Each structure stands twice: as structure tokens, then as C-alpha cells.
Amino acid sequence: MTVVDTKSWLRNYCKTYQKKASLDNYRIQCETLCFPIESYIRDMSAEELHFALLQYGLFHPTEDTQDICDSVHALDQFGIWNALNMEYRHLQKEWRGPSVPVFIFPITLSNQPSCQKPTEKNGVSLEEGIFLFVSPFILKQEVFAVLAHEYNHSCRLFHTQNHRHDMSLLDVILLEGMAEYAVGKRYGSKWNAGWIHMYSDNELQALWTDHYIDHLGIKREEEQLEYMFGGGTRNIPEHAGYAIGFSIITSFLNQHSFSWTELFSLDSKYIVEHSAFSL
């Protein structure tokens, strides 16, 4: 399995829209982009996939179709499919990871604040595939970083024989921290997410003690998201869960030497107990 040739699906989307512009935009997008994914992602229907991908960053069906077609052409000229395919193969060999399909689509520009720089990348890893949403104005290293982050998730789950729905909050915290640590090690800290610098070590330790240590067994995804992203009724600071995960992994690997395949297989509690944090 490798990077899927979604550019042919996207070209079909453009052609179909031009021929059948009177049809429902959602239907055209679902039929041309999500029906083909059903052969890769077996536990979701095309309609379920369509809904989910729109939440994660897929361009919206009501966005200007010519802009989307221009983005597809620009990404192809940029060589993004070939470049990501080569990088994916390097990561798979280095991390001894699973074979999972990677899907690339233009990122949505709708509902983005006009006063801020548009979001140019996002990614999500499902158990049977990785989805990357990118702008044609993005740098290749940025796309590589998103791919590495998401594929690192796949490797952690593969080596622990775990499933996303079985993961505790602690597992998720380390999953995200491990992935972002991998980005920095492979491409340099320039390409890390900004949240790794949001809090001092003392602040992270205090957050861990005050908000996290008694709730690490939570398995409800809605609750986990609140602890990861912040906000909600618990008044957790922005991206605190991500920042804590990165700090745990960094402090652990500053004290211990493990290969990636060894690290992927380690129990979450073992990692924390041998880091600068405690349980």
C-alpha cells in the first residue's frame, strides 16, 4: 500500500461538476471522492467518510470548483504525490511500520477567519488509512511533517496491537507526544507544531498534577479531546495535553536510548514512570 492517486479522483470531480453542475454538490463530491475510498476503509460507508472528512479539512462542496481544480493542478505541478510517496516509503522502512494507504486532498478555505493566516495543512490517521489536507502554497517539508506525524500514530498502534477506540487518555497523550517528537527529530524543530513551546516545564508539571494524573484512564473520545485541545468545562489550557505528551516523550528519551521500533512497543505507564513525570 502506498500514496493513493487521488489526483485522478479529483480531476474526475472537476469534470463531473462541469458536466453536471445542476446536481447536488455534496452528491458529486461523495460519489467521486468517497465512493473510491470504500475499497480501502472497510468499516465506514462513503456517506460516513464524507461527513468525517469534511470535519477534518476536506474542501467544502460549495467552494468555488475552479479554485479547487486550480489547486489540484498546482499540487500536481508541485510533485506532491510523488514526493510524499517517496517519503512514506522511507518512513515505513525506518520505523518498520504497517502498510496503510495515504490520501491527499485540497484543504478547505471556508469558515476560516479572514483576519488570520489560512490553515494550509491538516491530517488524520484512521485505523485503515491516513488523510492529508493541504494547500498548494505549502512547503514540502510541512507536508512531510504532517505525514510523519500521522504515520507515527499508525506505527504506534501497529506495534502495540492497539485500537484507537481502546486507548486511554494516557495512551492518546503519549501517541501525540511521540508523533511530534518524531517530526522534530527527522526534520528539525522548525517544523514542529507551535504548541510544544506554549508552556514551561514547571507549568506542564503543574497541569499534569492538577488536571491529568487522576483522569488518565478516560476512554470516551469526547472527554479525551477536551483534555488534549483544552477548553470545555474543565478550563484546561489550549493544547495542554499535546504539550504534556511531547514533554513526557522528550524527557524519557533524554534519559533512555531506544530504537523507534522498541519505543513504539513500550507500555505507556512504563514511559511515564521513567520520564520526568510521575503517576
Which DSSP symbol is given to 49? H
pLDDT for the residue numbered 114: 47
Name the percent of the chain lying above pLDDT 90: 84
Question: 25-29, 121-125, 226-230, 261-265 — which is least confidently predicted?
Answer: 25-29
CB 248 within 8 A of CB 173: yes
Residue 144, pLDDT > 80, answer: yes
CA gyration radius for the chain? Answer: 19
**SS3 track for 118-179:** CCCEEEEEECCEEEEEECCCCCHHHHHHHHHHHHHHHHHHHHHCCCHHHCCHHHHHHHHHHH
What confidence tens digit (pLDDT) does each residue in 106-143 have?
A: 999 876 544 455 578 999 999 899 999 999 999 999 99
Q: Mean pLDDT, to the nearest integer, of 95-103?
A: 96
Q: Collect all residues with Cβ–Cβ distance below 8 Å to 120 and sequence separation of at least 6.
A: 107, 134, 135, 137, 138, 142
The strand pairing partners of 132, in sequence order, are 104, 123
17 confidence band (pLDDT: 50, 70, 90): confident
Looking at every residue in the chain, the average pLDDT score rounds to 93
DSSP state of 6: H
Please say if the pLDDT value at position 20 is more than 90: no
pLDDT single digits (tens) 147-159: 999 999 999 999 9
Q: Which residues pair with 231 in a beta bridge?
A: 236
